[in-house]
């Protein structure tokens, strides 16, 4: 026999009265449990103070805690009982024609050809803002290219001061040889080792300033912080002109004007006339004596300089020939082509793979910290100035075989639990197709042997020597 509607109503009233007795009617707070929708959460607790999303999971932040949703449904509510609940924040009003936001993309053009950027910089008498990025392997680069570079707020702030130039170093695609050579030459000239990197260049390609991106800049968003970083350098550079003044050719007499009459030193710089003969012979002999002395002295000096130049050139040529016969080295007997092969990486034990990953990521601007054993994570990577890990890295040797889907899901769960924004798995043994699909869905970066080698190859030679030296390669 099913309960009557009246009995169900009595039970509901009894529960409500008990809650009022225990907590006080004025302290009764709404409760939204697992399975509720996002709209129901916002209706109960108000508009969140912050939101973040990782794959299919979304976290809504409130002063009293957070609500985690999976596939649009509440999975977990983490509210602190000791935090006062503020009044619910109302949902933002719908955009109107006068309050609608500007589009997220800008008409500002990021050139990829340095000659084109230099030509425009000369015409406009401005500098070049060059962004060195790793678009398909560096999460910070992806974030800069997605959230900052195309945004009108960034373009409006700097379009009149700079020509925008993007110098990309992808690992999954091969850029044209000319473009790759150009980018590598500029990277070597600027000493870039981290990505993204912002360098202010003159029109002739010389670096004028480097924007410090790892510093904690003011701003309520990543984009605002990047704008503050570039603005500080821009304001400092405004104190000096971006381009040297153009050198003008020597002036020539204008048509219709006679050249000045020739002068003679023995006549006191008085213009000589064809009919003047007073003092001519003494002046001639005096001039001949001075000319003879100057000619002999100048000849001796010129001959000595010629002998010295020939001797110096011969020594330099011998030294260059000797250097060309030797392989170019960086560090103690380490050559640029001494990169580990796929087979060598596959034979490395877990500790050596971990050491390589730590050295490689530190060379790209992070600080690597070892994580507790048994946590499923080997390294925590911190950007400069940060106290909490920005990336969690799991390193797995090839002896364990290809990585399957389980480690990818476990790392994703750790990211959600800790609130870390990115996760990478380094596995020289590769990944199964299922793991690759899961990593793409969850936003986990999967780095196999080929990915490691490409990242090592992207490093400047001195930095590469240091990384390989730390791992005993």
Domain boundaries, given as residue ranges, for the chain: 30-81, 114-237, 342-470
Task: Please report the pLDDT score of residue 468 as a whole number.
Answer: 85
Predicted pLDDT of residue 126:
94
Percent share of the chain, pLDDT over 70? 67
CA-nearest of 356, 349, 372, 337 to 457 is 337
The pLDDT of residue 62 is 79
- Residue 366 to residue 213: CA distance in whole angstroms: 12
Q: Note the pLDDT tens digit of each residue in 187-240.
A: 888 888 778 899 999 999 989 888 888 777 888 888 999 999 999 889 888 876
Residue bearing the bigger pLDDT, 29 or 439: 439
Structure-block tokens of residue 229: 């970083």
pLDDT of 310 over the 80 cut: no
Q: What is the dihedral of CA 135, 139, 141, 147, to 10 degrees?
A: 110
Averaged confidence pLDDT in the chain: 75
Q: Using the predicted structure, report yes or no on whether residue 82 has a pLDDT greater than 60.
A: yes
Q: What per-residue confidence (pLDDT) applies to 87?
A: 78
Confidence of residue 179 (pLDDT cuts 50, 70, 90): very high
Q: What is the mean pLDDT of residues 106-111?
A: 74
> What's the rounded mean pLDDT across residues 380-392?
87
Helix (H) or strand (E) holding 60: strand 57-62
Q: State residue 191's pLDDT score.
A: 82
Q: Which residues, other chains included, contact 40 with Cβ-Cβ below 8 Å and sequence gap of 6+?
A: 32, 74
Query: Can you tell me which residue has the tokens 């003679």?
Result: 264
| Entry pTM | 0.41
What is the rounded CA–CA span in Å between residue 116 and residue 163? 10
CATH of domain 114-237: 3.40.30.10
Quote the CA–CA distance of 472 and 332 in Å, as a whole number: 12
Query: Phi and psi at residue 8, in whole multiples of 5°?
Result: -65, -40
The answer to whether 229 and 217 are in contact (CB under 8 A) is yes
Contact call for residues 44 and 32 (beta carbons, < 8 A): yes
The predicted structure's pLDDT at residue 121: 93
Nearest CA among 383, 350, 353 for reference residue 368: 383
Distance CA 363, CA 300 (A): 56
Which residue has better confidence, 47 or 268?
47
Instruction: Give the SS3 label for residue 107.
Output: coil
- Fold assignment, 342-470: Trna Endonuclease; Chain: A, domain 1 (3.40.1350)
- Measured distance CA(114)–CA(353) in Å, rounded: 37
How confident is the model over 137-157, as pLDDT tens digits? 888 889 999 999 999 999 999
Interstrand relation of 391-395 and 366-370 (parallel, antiparallel or unpaired): unpaired
- Sheet (strand 162-168) strand order: 162-168, 127-133, 197-201, 207-211
Which is nearest to 198 in space by CA: 157, 206, 190, 117? 190
């Amino acid at each position: 026999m099913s309960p009557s509607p009246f009995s169900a109503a009595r039970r509901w009233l009894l529960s409500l009265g008990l809650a009022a007795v225990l907590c006080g009617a004025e302290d009764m707070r709404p409760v939204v449990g697992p399975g509720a929708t996002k709209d129901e959460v916002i209706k109960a607790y108000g508009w969140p103070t912050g939101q973040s999303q990782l794959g299919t999971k979304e976290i809504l932040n409130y002063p009293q805690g957070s609500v985690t949703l999976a596939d649009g449904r509440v999975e977990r509510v983490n509210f602190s009982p000791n935090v006062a609940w503020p009044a619910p924040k109302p949902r933002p009003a719908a955009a109107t024609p006068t309050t609608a936001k500007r589009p997220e993309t800008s008409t500002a053009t990021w050139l990829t050809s340095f000659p084109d950027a230099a030509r425009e910089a000369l015409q406009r008498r401005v500098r070049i803002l060059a962004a060195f990025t790793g678009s398909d392997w560096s999460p910070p680069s992806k974030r800069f290219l997605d959230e900052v570079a195309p945004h009108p707020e960034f373009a409006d702030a700097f379009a009149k001061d700079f020509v925008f130039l993007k110098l990309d170093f992808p690992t999954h695609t091969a850029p044209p040889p000319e473009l790759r050579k150009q980018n590598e030459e500029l990277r070597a000239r600027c000493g870039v080792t981290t990505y993204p990197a912002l360098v202010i260049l003159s029109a002739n390609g010389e670096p004028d300033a480097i924007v410090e991106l790892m510093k904690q800049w003011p701003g309520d968003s990543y984009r605002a912080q990047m704008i503050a970083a570039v603005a500080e350098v821009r304001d400092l550079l405004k104190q000096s002109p971006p381009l040297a003044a153009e050198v003008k050719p020597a002036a020539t007499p204008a048509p219709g004007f006679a050249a000045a009459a020739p002068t003679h030193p023995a006549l006191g710089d008085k213009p000589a006339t064809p009919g003047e003969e007073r003092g001519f012979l003494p002046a001639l002999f005096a001039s001949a004596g001075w000319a003879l002395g100057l000619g002999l002295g100048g000849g001796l000096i010129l001959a000595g300089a010629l002998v010295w130049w020939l001797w110096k050139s011969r020594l330099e040529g011998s030294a260059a020939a000797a250097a060309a016969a030797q392989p170019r080295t960086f560090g103690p007997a380490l050559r640029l082509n001494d990169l580990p092969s796929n087979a060598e990486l596959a034979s490395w034990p877990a500790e050596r793979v971990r050491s390589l990953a730590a050295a490689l990521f530190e060379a790209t601007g992070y600080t690597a910290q070892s994580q507790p054993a048994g946590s499923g994570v080997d390294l925590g990577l911190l950007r400069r100035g940060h106290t909490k890990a920005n990336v969690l890295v799991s390193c797995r040797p090839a002896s364990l075989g290809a990585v399957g889907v389980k480690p990818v899901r476990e790392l994703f769960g750790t990211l959600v639990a800790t609130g870390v924004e990115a996760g990478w798995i380094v596995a020289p043994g590769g990944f199964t197709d299922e793991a690759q699909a899961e990593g793409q869905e969850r936003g986990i970066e999967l780095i196999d042997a080929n990915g490691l080698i490409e990242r090592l190859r992207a490093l400047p030679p001195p930095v590469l020597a240091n990384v390989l030296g730390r791992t005993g390669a």
